[in-house]
Structures are given as C-alpha cells and as structure tokens.
Structure 1
Amino acid sequence: MKQEWYEGEKTYYFELDTEGTVMRQIIKQRDHLFASNRPNFCLSETTIEFEPYLSIQCTEFDEAWTKANVPFMNDWLETIKSIKDDTEVEGYIEVIYPQGIIINLGNGKYGITDYEECKRVSDSSNIYTGNRIKGKISGIDNINLWVILKETKVI
C-alpha cells in the first residue's frame, strides 16, 4: 500500500505493510527528496492507518524512490562490484528498522541483517545504535541499496 501525507512544506510518501507498518518512506521538501534507506534514516515508528483516498500509485512511489537514490547510485554500483559472498565485514548499528538492523559499513555503504538471527548469538541488551557488529555478506538488496549480512554478532 502506498500513501501520501501533507504537513506544512513537507509531503510524506509511505509504503505500508498490511498492518500499517512503514517499510519505506520518502520526504519531499520543496525540490528535495529524502529516502528512508540513507543517509538520514527517516522511517516513521508509528503505524499508519491506510486511507484509500490518500493512496498513490506504486509507480509514483517507486519513481520518487529512484529519484531520491540517484545521488547514491554510483557508490552502490561500485559496492556491488567490490563485494563477495561470505566475506566478513564490520560496522556499527545505525538504526533498527522493521526490516532488520541497518549497519553502517563506512564509506557510504550500508548493510542489513535479521534482528532475530543476531539476537540468537548476541545479548539483546547489546543490540542498539552505535555498537559494533560483524557478519558475512550473503547478498544485496537493490531496492534499498543495502548489503545483506548473515551470521551477525554484536562485538
């Protein structure tokens, strides 16, 4: 479900799951678009009740998402050329989203890992922003421009 909301000079675009959890978000302020995947990490923590009269087409959301990510695309293309599965990487926890733990890998690179998987091997009281974390590369998420990590552990 895609929905938009106006507040002052900002327009918010949301991609919602069936429970109203925001999965992706774009903020439009004047001529600028900011996506929730980087570098400001602006994802609503509140569930949103879907209102059909506020819905937008998926293509409209996806076009805005692509446009918001244009400044990061060259770095992303270099990232996917340089990574190899099962390579161990290290970074720090940037934010925790419904999709999982977002990890800052440095140099504009971000990863994601499953929260529950990480919790199985790390004390959950250590899973918070700023803490160091390591894991192995297992794939890529071309929509969010994230490296997917497995076997993660807070260090």
Structure 2
Amino acid sequence: MIYLCACEEPELGTYYFETDQDGVALRQIVIEEDGSRVTSHRKHELYHFMLAEHPIDLSDPSYERIPKARFEELWSEVLLATMEEWRQIKQALPIGQKVAGSIEAFFPQGTLVDLFEHRAVGLADTAFLKQHSPREWMYPGYKLTASVKGYDEINQWVLLDQTRMLDGERRVVER
C-alpha cells in the first residue's frame, strides 16, 4: 500500500489517502480547517461517501508520501470516536442475521449498502451482484436483502453474503 498526503487549497483541508500500487484509493481522510474529519468509511451528510473516484497519479508532486503509521494513527482516531456505535451495530447484527438495505456507492472493496434499520454500512460483493442482477438495478437506491457474514474492523462495515436484489425496488428518499 501507498500512503499520501495532499493539501492543494487552504480552504479544502488536508487529504490523506491509502492507495494500492496503481493509485486506486482504498481509504481516505479529509481533515478540514476547523479540525473536523470526513472519511471514506462513513456517509457524510454533505459529501456522501468521499473517496477519490479515479486513480491518483502517484508521480504528481502535489501528493507527498507519508509513513503508513501516520495514516493509521489518523484513521484510528476516527475509529475510536465511533467505537461504541460499532460495538452496538455488531451486537444488533450477529453473523447469520438477515438484513435489508439499499445500494449507496461502489468502492474498490465492493458495493456499499445502507442497512437503514441499523444505521450501519454493509459491504456486498459487486461482481456477485452484477452477475445475478439486471444491469439497470446496479445503481444507488436499489434495495436488496442479505445475510451478515462478518465484519470489516478497519472500515467498520458489516460484511454481507447471500445478497439478492428486490425485483427492481428502489428506496424512496424523503426530502
């Protein structure tokens, strides 16, 4: 993995990335000027799920390589702030539990799913969903069911298995 820091504009905050060897971002932290943090592992009310959409040019001089320990220190601070909520989510969603949700976003790790009854983020296998669902259902808002197969402690995501799209049903978002 490669760890980067970028501070391109003073009013945009400082960006930290974990990428693979091709520059594909896997985790991202933004520390805004006021000290607040936006991370890729949780949905933000303004920025949704924030993760670089295109590979980062690793030769771009505006990105400075940083030690893994620095990135992990910042990431751990974020996880600690939500540790009690994460503990409650795992208690409410034991392995084997059936869940319902809707597609939120597509990340390199898989499809992020809003498990709305539990205020949790699930992770489904995108390749499996694509293979077993019509293409037109592979968009944010489409509903699915699944079983809990485990937990991603690094991102505080619920790992999903046995996913099944619900016949093109979409979640209605009230505004």
Unpaired segments of 5 or more residues in structure 1?
A: none
Moved over 3 A (4+): none
1:49-128 equivalence runs, <5 A: 49-51=57-59, 54-106=64-116, 107-128=118-139
Residue equivalent to 1:25: 28
Render the CA deviation track for 1:98-131: whole Å, top value 9, x for unaligned.
1110001024211001100112221122011011
Structure 2 gap ranges (5+): 167-175
Report the counterpart of residue 37 of structure 1 in structure 2. Answer: 41
1:4 — aligned with what? 5
Rg bigger for which structure? 2
Matches within 5 A, 1:122-141: 122-141=133-152
TM-score, normalising length: structure 2 = 0.83
> Which amino acid in 2 is paired with 1:3?
L
TM-score (norm 1): 0.93
Shift in Å, 1:136: 0.9
Percent of paired sites with the same residue: 30
1:17-71 superposed Cα distances (whole Å, 9 cap, x missing partner): 1111000000011211211110221001011122497111111101111222333
Root mean square deviation, CA, Å? 1.5
75-84 or 21-30: which moved more?
75-84
Question: How far apart are residue 7 of structure 1 and its match?
Answer: 2.1
Q: Is the 8 A contact 1:118 1:151 kept in 2?
A: no
Which one is further off, 78-87 or 97-106? 78-87
Secondary structure (helix, strand or coil) at the match of 2:140 reads coil
